[in-house]
Amino acid sequence: MDGRETSREIERAATQWVARMDRAPLSHRDEARLQRWLAGDARRAGALMRAKALWHQARALQGTGQLHALAAPPSRTPVQVPASPRRRAGRGLRPLRWASALAASLVLTVFLLLTVQVPAAYATTKGEMRRVALAGGSVLTLNTDTRVKVHDDDGQLRVAVERGEVFIDARNARPDLVVEVDRRRMTARNATLLVRKLDGEPTHVSVETGALEIPATRTTVAAATRLLLRDGPDGLQLSPLPSGQLQREMAWREGKIAFEGETLAEAVADFARYSDLRIDIIDNGLAQMPITGLFDANDPEGFGNAVAQVFDADARRERDRVVLSRPVEPVRTH
């Protein structure tokens, strides 16, 4: 990020200046500081005008008695008790002080409603896929059980990946899209990329086209490169992507899961991300067998039947699970 002050920060500073001017006339030193602040950014003058308008609206409400009515204590039967002029003056000023406090609270409330921007959240459930077109021209495709938040940082969109797997097409993003994962911010330069953040494995970002820049470390991730994110001083690890690997990893966009040499245990873990129908392998040797092929992501039972045919195993359905096992060989006797 370039460190440029955001609109939200400018609006907050403007409100603080108006509150200071309302309390008492600015000193020569404070007036000079205000002028330097205004000259520092063309947006600040407009922010100061808006803050003054909100403040005057709150004062107008106070003048009509609406805030005085709120500040006044509940009506009770009057008791005639002589009071000194000082006590009478103090009691008379107390509602005014309450009204001033309420006026300031009203200004702050309106200011927060106008300036605080709530990020948009997008999520998928297990087995669901979702496509989201962003205002800046980028397109997100969320895989199963994925959650992201989209922040608007003074006109620049930032996609924070909280969990799951998301394919990001930022080739048409204006301005460039910022991607955040594991507290690291990266700028997508005419890029398409896959972010994978799953429990039990390191987070990685695979760049398909374009480039990904990490300003904090001055790192550029080129196309056909994988970025592995870890904690510690060696937290960024780059490695080339073998031909065809990223396409296999993104088969989920077509509703498929692609394997090439993974063990059956690893394949079963992948299927568990898409369906509540789990696959249990009760033979350790079978669990370590390698599997290659393209399968429907939402059909774990079909996968189990295919495995049974290939490895001469048994597949049986038991309520909410598919059990894979090998036939028990009879014990030979001599």
- Could you read off the pLDDT of 305-321 as tens digits, one per residue? 999 999 999 999 999 99
pLDDT at 333: 61
May I ask the CATH class of domain 255-325?
alpha beta
d(CA 171, CA 208): 11
Mean pLDDT, rounded, of the chain? 85
The structure tokens listed for 49 are 């005008």
Give start-end residues of each CATH 3.55.50.30 domain in the chain. Answer: 255-325
Supply the pLDDT for residue 328: 72
Cβ 129 vs Cβ 144: under 8 Å: yes
pLDDT beyond 70 at 112 = no
Q: CB–CB of 187/177 below 8 Å?
A: yes
Round to whole Å and give the CA distance between 199 and 220.
Answer: 26
CB 226 within 8 A of CB 197: no
2 phi/psi in degrees, rounded to 5: -90, 0
85, pLDDT greater than 50: yes
CA distances from 63 to 58, 67, 72, 113, 270 (A): 9, 8, 14, 23, 66
| Cis amide bond preceding 175, omega within 30 | yes
Q: Which residues contact 164 (CB under 8 A, 6 or more apart)?
A: 124, 142, 143, 144, 145, 146, 147, 148, 197, 198
Block residue for tokens 């780059």: 238
Query: What's the CA gap between 133 and 334, in Å, rounded?
Result: 71
Look at residue 136 and tell me whether its pLDDT is greater than 60: yes
Amino acid at 164: G
Amino acid at position 139, single letter: V
Query: For 182, what's the count of Cα atoms within 13 Å in the CB-facing half-sphere?
Result: 20
Q: Which of 293, 319, 316, 296 is nearest to 305 (CA)?
A: 316
Higher pLDDT, 55 or 135: 135
How would residue 57 be classed by pLDDT, with cut points 50, 70 and 90?
confident
* pLDDT at residue 72, rounded to an integer: 46
Question: What does the DSSP 8-state code read for residue 232?
Answer: S
- Kindly state the average pLDDT of the residues 226-249: 90
Tell me the pTM: 0.67
Q: Which residue has the tokens 């920060």?
A: 9
Instruction: Report the 10 Å Cβ neighbour count for 73.
Output: 9
CA pair distance 254, 129, nearest whole angstrom: 10
Q: Where in the chain is the domain with CATH 2.60.120.1440?
A: 120-247
Residues 6+ apart with CB under 8 A from 13: 37, 44, 47
Q: Which residue has the higher pLDDT, 101 or 17?
A: 17
- DSSP three-state, residue 128: coil
| DSSP code for 252 | G
Structural contact between residues 36 and 13, judged by C-beta atoms closer than 8 angstroms: no
**Residue 332 has what pLDDT?**
63
CB neighbours (10 Å) of residue 214?
A: 17
* Of 32-36, 74-78, 159-163, 265-269, minimum mean pLDDT range: 74-78
Mean pLDDT of 99-106: 59
Q: What is the CATH T-level fold of the domain 120-247, as seen in this structure?
A: Jelly Rolls (2.60.120)
